[in-house]
Amino acid sequence: MSSPTIRPIRLSAIRRALKAAPIPEPEAPLQAAVAAILRESEGKLELLLIRRSSRASDPWSGQMALPGGRRDPSDPSLRQTAIRETLEEVGLDLAEHGEYLGALPPLQAKARGKILDLQIAPFVFCIRRFPELIHDASEVVETLWGDVSAMHNGRLDTQTPYVRQGLTYQLPAYDVDGRTVWGITYEILQKLFFAFDAL
């Protein structure tokens, strides 16, 4: 028996999926935003990933993530938070180079086994031009582009061990060029794929 055909994810489909299900911004007292930035390159849809610098004050220190951070009081909206943080962290001006596609449902932040009093709003953008990324070494160690269809269809599925209270759990993750994408970033991608699969 032949295996079922897995359709590749296209930017046009993501655009339709996000327009079909508009999401209001969270209203939690403490808020953060991240930017899921997509591009089409050599026939593939890719997602920008960063590896955060190792800092004791950062709950997600050293992890693979999306550009983003906490809302500043001067930010007029959480979408603007995502745009500002992306510019600060990787030198990419989404206001100039990006097209806003839509929002995904907010997530309750978790770190080191604890639920934080913080909601994270993911916003999805695409870029047509590929300006050079210049990351802030104090916040970002490296940037890379991951194959979205390969994550969606299971080719990059893996697990990562997570130890809590002396017990080791195997959590779902993606292996993107030898980097482990898990936790909140993995959850955000699952929400993106759910929106796509609902079409």
**Percent composition of the chain: helix, strand, coil (DSSP 3-state, to 5):** 25, 40, 35
Query: Which pTM value belongs to this model?
Result: 0.91
Per-residue pLDDT for 59 more than 90?
no
User: Domains plus CATH for the chain?
Assistant: 11-194 (3.90.79.10)
What is the Cα–Cα distance from 42 to 44, expressed in whole angstroms? 6
Pick the more confident residue, 163 or 156. Answer: 156
pLDDT attached to residue 101: 95
pLDDT attached to residue 141: 94
pLDDT digits (tens, 9 = 90+) for 93-106: 999 999 999 999 99
pLDDT digits (tens, 9 = 90+) for 4-19: 445 678 888 898 889 8
User: What Å distances lie between residue 71 and 16, 30, 34, CA to CA?
Assistant: 28, 8, 10
Question: Predicted confidence band at 2 (pLDDT cuts at 50, 70, 90)?
Answer: very low
